[in-house]
């Protein structure tokens, strides 16, 4: 992708932990880089990102909001800009705080973040209550959240329970979204959606009102205590692969290096 860079956007603001920083304020600077496809603009400013307006947006947002941490400012600003400018593929922000209250000589303090849009695949399932309504709730949650956009949704299939057999049959599906959430933020979105739909804690692999699992997050891999991407069992679960194959049959699993259609054939 092509890149536009705006360096040294200066403003006066009140970000900081200390009371003196909140009351007196200080000068900050922000460097901004973002990627887009410039080949489609055809010399029309309405088909590209107006970097002059981006600079003004950065100054206004950073001046009018107050945060204790540079990390919060950088993350909130990145999300705001990606939500406003859909032609931005990714963005990198460096927030400079040259007058930070540090008890030694220094030149600058800089906090840098990079965020991008990712194509993500989710598995959804339910076997309690109105199962279809529960699965449809995920789409409603996505529609109401500016950080995530629905791109495709499979039809729903009925499947037998997995792991624990003495429970009702499931209704399962898969959805494709575009999001600016990080993997951990997306996990929070999934858990929050489950809770709002009425899910409560039960036995492992047991019955649930709604289950929302992250299957793939672009071509990225994540391995932490609470999140593994790609989903560690997606390649052996028929009820995951069948809906996913419907909407993205040629999607390549980043570890197995096989398409969803190939993985499904192996399971079948």
State the catalytic residues: 97
Q: What's the CA gap between 177 and 142, in Å, rounded?
A: 9
What is the 8-class DSSP label of residue 15? -
Query: 121: closest CA among 164, 166, 40, 179?
Result: 179
- What the block records as the tokens of 183 is 């993997």
Category of 52 on φ-ψ map: left (φ > 0), alpha (ψ -120 to 50) or beta = alpha
- Rg from Cα positions in the chain: 22
Query: 92: closest CA among 54, 65, 149?
Result: 54
DSSP secondary structure string for all residues of 127-161 = -SSSHHHHHHHHHHHHHT-TTEEEEEEPPPEEE--
Q: What's the CA gap between 158 and 149, in Å, rounded?
A: 26
């Amino acid at each position: 992708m092509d890149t536009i860079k705006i360096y040294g956007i200066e403003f006066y603001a009140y970000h900081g932990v200390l009371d003196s920083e909140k009351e007196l304020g200080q000068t900050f600077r922000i460097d901004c880089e973002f990627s887009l496809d410039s080949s489609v603009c055809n010399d029309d400013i309405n088909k590209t990102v107006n970097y002059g307006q981006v600079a003004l947006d950065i100054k206004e947002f950073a001046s009018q909001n107050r945060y204790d941490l540079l990390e919060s400012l950088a993350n909130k600003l990145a999300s705001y800009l990606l939500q406003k400018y859909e032609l931005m593929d990714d963005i990198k922000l460096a927030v400079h705080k040259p007058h930070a209250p540090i008890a030694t000589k220094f030149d600058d303090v800089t906090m840098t973040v990079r965020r991008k849009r990712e194509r993500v695949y989710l598995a959804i399932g339910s076997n309690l209550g109105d199962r279809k309504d529960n699965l449809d709730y995920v789409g409603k949650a996505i529609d109401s959240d500016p950080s995530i956009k629905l791109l495709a949704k499979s039809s729903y299939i009925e499947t037998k329970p997995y792991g624990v057999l003495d429970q009702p049959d499931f209704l399962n599906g898969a959805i494709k979204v575009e999001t600016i959430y990080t993997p951990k933020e997306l996990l929070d979105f999934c858990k929050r959606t489950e809770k709002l739909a009425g899910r409560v804690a039960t036995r492992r692999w047991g019955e649930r009102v709604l289950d929302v699992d992250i299957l793939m997050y672009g071509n990225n891999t994540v391995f932490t205590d609470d999140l593994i991407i790609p989903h560690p069992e997606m390649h052996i679960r028929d009820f995951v692969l069948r809906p996913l194959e419907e909407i993205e049959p040629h999607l390549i699993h980043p570890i197995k290096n096989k398409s969803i259609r190939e993985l499904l054939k192996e399971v079948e």
